[in-house]
Structure 1
Amino acid sequence: MSCPQFFTSILVMALLALMYNPVNAQDDLPNDFDGTERNALLALLSEFNNPFLKSNWTSIMCYKNKPPYWFGIQCVDGRVTGIVLENMGLAGNIKPDALVNLTQLSVLSFRNNSISGNVMGFSYNHKLTQIDLSGNMFDGPIPDSLLTLDFLESLQLQDNMLTDSVPAFNQISLREVNVSNNRLSGPIPNTIVLQSLNSSSFSDNPGLCGPPSPIPCTITNNTPNSTNTHHSHFASIFIVVDIIFLILVVALFIIYCRKSRKMKKEKKRKLVDQEEEEKVDKNMDVEEKGKLKFMDKEMGFELDDLLTASAEGLGKGNFGSCYKIRLCEAVTMVVKRLRDLKPLSSNEFEKNLQAMVGLTHPNLLPLLAYYYSTNEKLLIYRFASNGNVYNRIHGERGTKNRIPFRWSARLSVAHAVARALHYLHLNPISSQPHITAAHGNLKSSNVLLDQNDAVLVSDYGLTSLIALPIASQRMVSYKSPEYQIHKRVSPKSDVWSFGCFVLELLTGRVSTHGAPVGVNCVDLGSWVHRAVREEWTAEIFDGEIAAERGANSGMVRLLEVAIKCCEKSPEKRPEMGEVVREIEDVIEMVEEDDDGDGEFSSVTDYSVPATPVIIANGGGDGDYER
């Protein structure tokens, strides 16, 4: 066989091999195997020049169905489906074609940054459902390419410097549009979608006019006046156009009047309902007005005692500020001032809190009392002097004042928190069918330690009080994979939060799902999965516990439990009862390995006293430091 014939045969065989095995050739590549999506994101990064993103956006951002590795990026099947970079101080101009290669994008949010220039185009992003560019410095017109997005549900463009007119948005899917506080002008288009919005969606645009804005548009008549026959012909056309325009204005005015009348009736009905509710409140015992409502029994103090006692600010959390109040030498309280609540009446507020009265567990933080008025909502707890688990894990690292947080103590904390969640899941806080998360905001700063180092889980039951938009931004369960994709939370979301919490206990690293503002953090679930996949598990465990004699096998077992809890699919996660049993198996194994002396170091007492001892702290939510 000649040399050319030999090489031709080899080439044909190689092609046949690829034809019969096309899938395996790309099995180890990300779905974005040609790198177009990655290059598009890196182009964005070059415009922002953000140090944090530069250090985080490296290597592959999406790999098959694994969790995304890049901060703020959402992926499905290895394709970029979401970019959420909010409150990061991003600055710079985004190029008009920046999103051309991100064809699978469904969520885009640059909310509350300092990005300037014209709004980018969306002609190639037909799967977009949510766009939030509010709170930036975008200028120029609103791009007409937004009109081509047939699946768009929410468009937030408020608080920018946009000019020109409002496009005629009329997509059936569109439910929210906000262009307030810009520099837009001209009449608001008479589309069904725009006319169904509240006037606040267009407020603070002095040049905008026409319904639903309360500013009417000025009608000008530019009919030419000439004796010339040719000019008279055009004059007639202008008159007809003016008449048609006048008819349209009258029709719009009639529609506006009908809607206005309907809104007034609705407002009047709500006013009547409010007056009826106030009458009910007035029929209540007058002496209860302005007083604390105690959840169990009188505690020997009133609101005036709290207001006149010495107070110390403990900080601001996600749902309010906390204050340490010393009533006397032996009694110290924590008062939490709630904010961003649903518009609840006194009866609704009390009903939600009363649901917590029957929950008695040695590892749950009990509520002592509350106060409700139109302008003030307070929750009262006792102070826990030993801080929270976040500070216990991360506080005073690298200093001589650091008290080591031993492996056995961390295992005891995991056990106590698991038992508390299991109890909550067996005793739902609310009977309302749409409130399904038993805790909803589990993180290390919401796990407290009293003066005896007893573990107390705090901040449960707030899901029924907090408005959904606020909860979706600030509560841990709403950061779970199922909420990011399907907008759904459940007790399995609590299981996911618990898995993240245990990973924080084991690794000593700050979890991105519960980190305070400005603290370096990591998506622990993705990081641990990557460590296991690349077989560098020796670097997973916190050095403070990794060196303890005989601890490795127990830590590996607990890590396996945490990884199961962090499964992306809720159906694959275990129930909390199963988690409790598996952790108890780990404890039993550790006790047997501890030289057979039967002693096991613990930071909590698991016995339930006949009369529950109320020793707690209302800090929770990352509100106080040790």
Structure 2
Amino acid sequence: MLTGVAPMPLEFPTKWYGIRCISGRVSGILLEDLGLTGVVSSDAFTFFTELTILSFRNNSISGEVMNFSSNQKMREINLSGNKFQGQISQSLLSLNSLESLQLQENNFTGSIPEFNQPSLKVFNVSNNNLYGEIPKTHTLQQFGSDSYSNNPELRGLPISTVRKLSDTADTNTTSSQPQKSSSKTNTLGTIFLLFDVVGLIAVILLFILYFKKSRKLEKMLKKNDAEKGKEVSSVVEDDDDDEDDLEEVQEEQNKNINRIEVQRKEVAVVEEKGGLIFMEQQATFELDDLLKASAEGLGKGIFGNSYKAMIEGRPAIVVKRLRDLKPLSFEEFIKQLNIISELKHPNLLPLVAHYYSKEEKLLLYKFAEKGNLFNRIHGGRGNKDRIPFRWSARLSVARGVARALEYLHLNRKSQSIVPHGNLKSTNVLLDENDMVLVSDYGLTSLLAVPVAANRLVSYKSPEYQASKKLYKKSDVWSYGCLILELLTGRVQAHSAPPGTNGVDLSSWVHRAVREEWTAEIFDIEISVQRSSTPGMLKLLQIAMGCCDKSPEKRPEMTEVVREVESIKLVESEDEEDLSMDHSLTDESLSTSASGIMGDER
């Protein structure tokens, strides 16, 4: 690493790779994507007073951010994609010409300095370990939430995000007349058309009645006087019947008018709420309440960033901001979400409300107090404060997920070949009562195939990798992989969060059986529960059957539920350490091992 500067021949200003020079002085250092390692000292650029651009993007450089007090001409700094740690240097606040600062994807801690340089147009500190409130300076508040995402302890939404949501709400209710005007025009057109149809039907019925009456009067004139009396009597009765028919027509017309009026009122309510549409329950808050709520970033998923919004006096809500959706009109979007909202099961996380505009699409869900299954399995390992995840709780998860998936597979309202499509441990949640809630179901229909193929779990299945085809039983494969993660305590490769390494658990279990180190299959937190071993073995066999490479040989979810439900939970849980007991390998697994090996291909 350069720590000083020597006079450089003007005729050879580009001899050094990645170094830019002006009048023999270093003005730019661009060393990107080179796999560089090592530590940069804090005073490394003290003598580079002409330095305007510095980029170490996508290397493995570590150390704390350098002192830039001597680099007053600095305009661009890009340290993203490295291993820098510690706090963000306060010396950056003195750079009045700074236009771009990119520090994302490092290990920075502490709070964000109060940057307020008017020149700063690009700013990103996402994917670090920063904490505290986002400073309220004008400069920092102009950047969107993506500049701050994936800092779990960082609080508050930047004003630009709040303003953007507010503006889109105003656009929906006032100035975005192309959508609303056309919607109102279509509604009025429908009303007038219904009136025309009802009126036309009434005229036709009156004409028919008049024609019948005239025919009867003609018959009356041809009859004799004696019969006339009877005819008159008959006509009076017929007239009474005709009047009844007219009354029925009028009553039906009134009903149609009432229905139209109700529809008009419902549309007015939606418009009044500024586009925040609640699925079933009465609206308990409005978009303005959501924008004013304190927010906490929960991370970035395949559909976009999620936030925990805490509205005063109400339960917490999760706001999921959707990104990279396929082109959908308002009507198509609403149709898909209505289908999702009609899927109701105790083990499915219900959709509370949604919001649609050209710029923003939001989904609102109930907040699950105890987080997701991935964190429950893998979080806090080696920490004395971790609560062991025992067999009874894991079996409860396996049952809950199986029931939810069975419901989705049997429900005819599902519009997708794969009813869930993205089943993984981060999409299985636990509420305050440890109730299992499966999330992100039904959303595959919102994504274009190229995006889905790159992000969704079902597209990692053996059948899609081999033939680019999906089946309903691709979900069954995902369930089997989830159960293997639940049993082994190891991270599944195809569903691992960004930055986390995993293994192909199906292949790993087969290898463990083949090489006879099966005692290491089960997570240590459950392997110590000797009395529960038969249940663990049965669940392992079920999981391996679900992971069969051939979709036709995988069981239906109804069969999976039946098998999982049949596993008996032993009341007394023996927690004796089995780390030195090889009976698990030699005897307990002998039958199961042969069954698992029989499924291997």
The answer to whether the 8 A contact 1:313-1:322 is kept is: yes
The answer to whether the 8 A contact 2:532-2:570 is kept is: no
Q: After TM superposition, give the deviation of residue 283 of structure 1 in Å.
A: 3.4
Q: In 2 relative to 1, CA 417–280 (structure 1 residues): closer, same or farther, beyond 3 Å?
A: same
Would you say how many aligned residue pairs link Structure 1 and Structure 2?
A: 326
The answer to whether the 8 A contact 1:429-1:438 is kept is: no
Question: Following the alignment from structure 1 to structure 2, what is the Cα–Cα distance between the partners of residues 414 and 278?
Answer: 50
Match of 1:524 among 501, 505, 522: 505
Determine the structure 1 residue equivalent to 2:312. Answer: 328
Map 1:72-151 → 2, pairs under 5 A = none
Q: In 2 relative to 1, CA 359–283 (structure 1 residues): closer, same or farther, beyond 3 Å?
A: same
Is the aligned partner of 1:353 residue 2:318?
no
The answer to whether the 8 A contact 2:309-2:316 is kept is: yes
Q: In 2 relative to 1, CA 466–516 (structure 1 residues): closer, same or farther, beyond 3 Å?
A: same
Question: Following the alignment from structure 2 to structure 1, what is the Cα–Cα distance between the partners of residues 492 and 506?
Answer: 9
The answer to whether the 8 A contact 1:429-1:461 is kept is: no
Match of 2:450 among 469, 475, 483: 469
Is the aligned partner of 1:288 residue 2:270?
yes
Map 1:16-415 → 2, pairs under 5 A = 279-280=182-183, 282-284=185-187, 285=267, 288-289=270-271, 290-415=274-399
SS for the counterpart of 2:340 is: coil
Q: In 2 relative to 1, CA 282–380 (structure 1 residues): closer, same or farther, beyond 3 Å?
A: farther
Determine the structure 2 residue equivalent to 1:504. Answer: 485
Q: Which amino acid aligns with 1:307?
A: L
Q: After TM superposition, give the deviation of residue 527 of structure 1 in Å.
A: 0.9
Residue deviations 1:434-473 (CA, integer Å, cap 9, x gap): x300100000010001111110000000011111111101
Question: Following the alignment from structure 2 to structure 1, what is the Cα–Cα distance between the partners of residues 184 and 485?
Answer: 47
Determine the structure 2 residue equivalent to 1:549. Answer: 530
SS for the counterpart of 1:550 is: helix
SS for the counterpart of 1:527 is: helix
SS for the counterpart of 1:322 is: strand
SS for the counterpart of 1:312 is: strand
TM-score (norm 2): 0.51
Q: After TM superposition, give the deviation of residue 286 of structure 1 in Å.
A: 5.8
Question: Following the alignment from structure 1 to structure 2, what is the Cα–Cα distance between the partners of residues 339 and 364?
Answer: 22
Question: Following the alignment from structure 2 to structure 1, what is the Cα–Cα distance between the partners of residues 35 and 289?
Answer: 53
Q: Which amino acid aligns with 1:499?
A: G
Q: In 2 relative to 1, CA 490–400 (structure 1 residues): closer, same or farther, beyond 3 Å?
A: same
Match of 1:458 among 439, 446, 451: 439
The answer to whether the 8 A contact 2:377-2:489 is kept is: yes
Q: After TM superposition, give the deviation of residue 320 of structure 1 in Å.
A: 0.9
SS for the counterpart of 2:296 is: strand
| Structure number having the greater helix percentage | 2
Q: After TM superposition, give the deviation of residue 430 of structure 1 in Å.
A: 3.2
Question: Following the alignment from structure 2 to structure 1, what is the Cα–Cα distance between the partners of residues 36 and 519?
Answer: 31
The answer to whether the 8 A contact 2:303-2:323 is kept is: yes
Q: In 2 relative to 1, CA 281–592 (structure 1 residues): closer, same or farther, beyond 3 Å?
A: same
Q: Which amino acid aligns with 2:302?
A: N
Question: Following the alignment from structure 1 to structure 2, what is the Cα–Cα distance between the partners of residues 410 and 430?
Answer: 28
Question: Following the alignment from structure 2 to structure 1, what is the Cα–Cα distance between the partners of residues 382 and 362?
Answer: 38
Is the aligned partner of 1:443 residue 2:424?
yes
Q: Which amino acid aligns with 2:460?
A: K
Residue deviations 1:551-597 (CA, integer Å, cap 9, x gap): 211111110000000000000100001011111111x2x348879xx
Residue deviations 1:262-290 (CA, integer Å, cap 9, x gap): xxxxxxxxxxxx98997346535466343
The answer to whether the 8 A contact 1:417-1:457 is kept is: yes
Q: After TM superposition, give the deviation of residue 312 of structure 1 in Å.
A: 1.3
Q: In 2 relative to 1, CA 288–452 (structure 1 residues): closer, same or farther, beyond 3 Å?
A: same
Determine the structure 1 residue equivalent to 2:10. Answer: none
Determine the structure 2 residue equivalent to 1:535. Answer: 516
Question: Following the alignment from structure 1 to structure 2, what is the Cα–Cα distance between the partners of residues 502 and 336?
Answer: 26
Determine the structure 1 residue equivalent to 2:195. Answer: none
Is the aligned partner of 1:513 residue 2:416?
no
Q: In 2 relative to 1, CA 375–530 (structure 1 residues): closer, same or farther, beyond 3 Å?
A: same
Q: Which amino acid aligns with 1:279?
A: S
SS for the counterpart of 2:466 is: helix
Question: Following the alignment from structure 1 to structure 2, what is the Cα–Cα distance between the partners of residues 350 and 296?
Answer: 14
Q: Which amino acid aligns with 2:373?
A: V
Residue deviations 1:63-92 (CA, integer Å, cap 9, x gap): xxxxxxxxxxxxxxxxxxxxxxxxxx799x
Please provide the CA RMSD for this pair: 2.7
In structure 1, runs of 5+ residues without a counterpart are: 1-47, 52-88, 92-112, 114-273, 596-626
Residue deviations 1:310-333 (CA, integer Å, cap 9, x gap): 111111111111111111244111
Determine the structure 1 residue equivalent to 2:563. Answer: 582
Q: Which amino acid aligns with 1:509?
A: R
Q: After TM superposition, give the deviation of residue 525 of structure 1 in Å.
A: 1.1
TM-score (norm 1): 0.49
Determine the structure 1 residue equivalent to 2:594. Answer: none
Residue deviations 1:209-263 (CA, integer Å, cap 9, x gap): xxxxxxxxxxxxxxxxxxxxxxxxxxxxxxxxxxxxxxxxxxxxxxxxxxxxxxx
The answer to whether the 8 A contact 1:332-1:382 is kept is: yes
SS for the counterpart of 1:296 is: coil
Q: In 2 relative to 1, CA 313–281 (structure 1 residues): closer, same or farther, beyond 3 Å?
A: farther
Q: After TM superposition, give the deviation of residue 301 of structure 1 in Å.
A: 0.7
Q: In 2 relative to 1, CA 490–315 (structure 1 residues): closer, same or farther, beyond 3 Å?
A: same
Q: In 2 relative to 1, CA 524–281 (structure 1 residues): closer, same or farther, beyond 3 Å?
A: farther
The answer to whether the 8 A contact 1:438-1:490 is kept is: no
Question: Following the alignment from structure 1 to structure 2, what is the Cα–Cα distance between the partners of residues 582 and 593?
Answer: 22
SS for the counterpart of 1:321 is: strand
Question: Following the alignment from structure 1 to structure 2, what is the Cα–Cα distance between the partners of residues 490 and 336?
Answer: 27
Question: Following the alignment from structure 1 to structure 2, what is the Cα–Cα distance between the partners of residues 494 and 315?
Answer: 25
Determine the structure 1 residue equivalent to 2:161. Answer: none
The structure number with the bigger radius of gyration is: 2
Residue deviations 1:358-392 (CA, integer Å, cap 9, x gap): 22111001001101111110001111111111000
Question: Following the alignment from structure 2 to structure 1, what is the Cα–Cα distance between the partners of residues 184 and 448?
Answer: 24
The answer to whether the 8 A contact 2:532-2:573 is kept is: no
Q: After TM superposition, give the deviation of residue 50 of structure 1 in Å.
A: 13
Question: Following the alignment from structure 2 to structure 1, what is the Cα–Cα distance between the partners of residues 184 and 407?
Answer: 35
Question: Following the alignment from structure 1 to structure 2, what is the Cα–Cα distance between the partners of residues 592 and 400?
Answer: 26
SS for the counterpart of 2:414 is: coil
SS for the counterpart of 1:300 is: coil
Question: Following the alignment from structure 1 to structure 2, what is the Cα–Cα distance between the partners of residues 428 and 594?
Answer: 41
SS for the counterpart of 1:370 is: strand
Q: In 2 relative to 1, CA 486–519 (structure 1 residues): closer, same or farther, beyond 3 Å?
A: same
The answer to whether the 8 A contact 2:300-2:306 is kept is: yes
SS for the counterpart of 2:508 is: helix
Determine the structure 1 residue equivalent to 2:73. Answer: none
Q: After TM superposition, give the deviation of residue 534 of structure 1 in Å.
A: 2.1
